[in-house]
């Protein structure tokens, strides 16, 4: 859990912009996403909500039914619309 918290904090701080001297070398590119995986009930959603609250990010967490469509190209369009919305309301955290 501590490793996941540190990774989420690093990505959130990188998304918010420079807040001071960075411990990274200037050529290093910060991560732009984190993959949280595991069985149900391990706290993935709680970590995402806590990160969004701590860094004052808008949390976009649509239900999976909103993203999965039977028509060809429907799911791709739904995911593209989700990320377009995230860009409009930036800074945002997308949790799928």
Please give the Cα distance from 41 to 43 (Å, whole number).
6
Could you tell me the pLDDT band of residue 47, with boundaries at 50, 70 and 90? confident
Query: In terms of pTM, does the model score above 0.75?
Result: no
Answer for the pair 14, 32: CB distance below 8 angstroms, yes or no: yes
Tokens of 92: 């945002």
Tokens of 90: 């930036």
Q: Each residue of 65-84: pLDDT tens digit?
A: 999 988 888 999 999 999 99
The CB density around residue 64, as the number of other CB atoms within 10 Å, is 7
């Amino acid at each position: 859990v501590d490793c996941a918290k540190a990774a989420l904090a690093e990505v959130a701080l990188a998304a918010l912009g420079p807040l001071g001297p960075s411990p990274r070398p200037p050529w290093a590119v910060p991560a732009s996403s984190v993959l949280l995986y595991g069985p149900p009930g391990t706290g993935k959603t709680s970590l995402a909500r806590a990160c969004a609250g701590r860094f004052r990010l808008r949390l976009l967490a649509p239900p999976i039914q909103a993203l999965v469509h039977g028509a060809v190209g429907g799911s791709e369009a739904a995911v593209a619309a989700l990320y377009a919305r995230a860009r409009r309301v930036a800074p945002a955290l997308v949790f799928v």
